[in-house]
Homo-oligomer: A and B are copies of this chain.
Amino acid sequence: MSQSNARYRFLMIHAFSLSDEARHHLRPQHGSKETVLMNHAELAPLLSDVDWDLHPGARATHGDWPVERQEEFAMVGTNRLPIVKEACESGRYNAIVLLGGGDPGFFAAREIGRRYGIPVTTCAHAQMHLAGMLGHKFSIVDISEVHNMQMYHLVRQYGFTDRCASIRNIDYPLPRPPYTHPHTLHGEHAKAERGETSGMLEAAVEEAVAAIEEDGAEVIILGCSGAFWLQRPLQERLVAMGWEVPVFEGYRCAIAMAKSMVDLGVNYSGLMVPSDPPPRSRRRKIF
């Protein structure tokens, strides 16, 4: 992408990439950006006025499987920072969208972006803010016990403990050694697309309904990017049951939030994400 005059010039960066030899891949490793971007068909309308590039993410250094543990999130988050910095320096983008459900590296990445005047948005963060606009409380339908706790940390970190009704665990973890979990999310999307019953979708419906009926959720968001394909079928199933609740996934929310920030010409407050050195300091911060 170059010399674009588009209102929106975005780089989207995957959380990490695996080797071609990885035992399971959650998305195509090669091909056009439209091929590699998960759920592109759903995103296409929102991207229609965006000039966008896609970065496959830094090669994973924690192992050749996806991310769920704190250790893994820390590693891939740090690995992504040089990509953010390089993109900022290139001058080609007016916003950066971090893909991936658990927001690895977001705080550091937005700090880098702010130094260049470039907004950086990401999936869980954007989902929570947009969910907060549309309902009093939201629940996170998420894939596994271990991943849940990353979402838990994000809810606290972003200050949404009062608006998050619950994190609901559907127990469809990402594939990982020793690959013995009775079921994982791998292949569930394909199954659903073929019109077969997806245990993962059924579990998501069950937990979303429980979140609505028991926890007070008025909006549903999805925790892991590997589950973002659930957005449409889960939305349809809930509406069919009479539950008029918005269901979000992270990519569109992060893109929409980036658009809003570009439209309004704003970035994160320099008091939350200070310049270094900051032009001015506060004597105190309060909560």
Contact = CB atoms under 8 A, between A and B. Distances in A.
A286 interface: yes
A207 B283 contact: yes
A198 interface: no
The interface centre, meaning the residue of A75, A157, A253, A263 with most chain B CB atoms within 10 A of its CB, is: A263
A281 B172 CA distance: 11
Interface string A244-287: 11101000110011011001101111111111111111111111
A221 to B, nearest CB: 12
Interface stretch (A10-18, A20-28, A160-168, A186-194): A160-168
A102 interface: no
Interface of A: 46, 68-71, 73-75, 77-78, 81, 105, 107-108, 111-112, 129-130, 132-136, 144-146, 148-149, 152-153, 155-157, 159, 161-169, 171, 173, 176, 181, 207, 210-213, 215-219, 241-246, 248, 252-253, 256-257, 259-260, 263-264, 266-287
A287 B70 contact: no
A148 to B, nearest CB: 6
Contacts of A133: 129, 257
B276 A146 contact: yes
B266 A134 contact: yes
The interface centre, meaning the residue of A70, A171, A219, A275 with most chain B CB atoms within 10 A of its CB, is: A70
Nearest to A245: B269
A263 B256 contact: yes
The interface centre, meaning the residue of A157, A161, A248 with most chain B CB atoms within 10 A of its CB, is: A161
Contacts of A112: 71
The interface centre, meaning the residue of A148, A207, A287 with most chain B CB atoms within 10 A of its CB, is: A287
The interface centre, meaning the residue of A68, A129, A266, A275 with most chain B CB atoms within 10 A of its CB, is: A266
B135 A105 contact: no
Contacts of A73: 108
A51 B129 CA distance: 27
Contacts of A162: 159, 162, 287
B70 A107 contact: yes
Contacts of A144: 281
Contact of A285 (B166, B210, B272, B281): B166
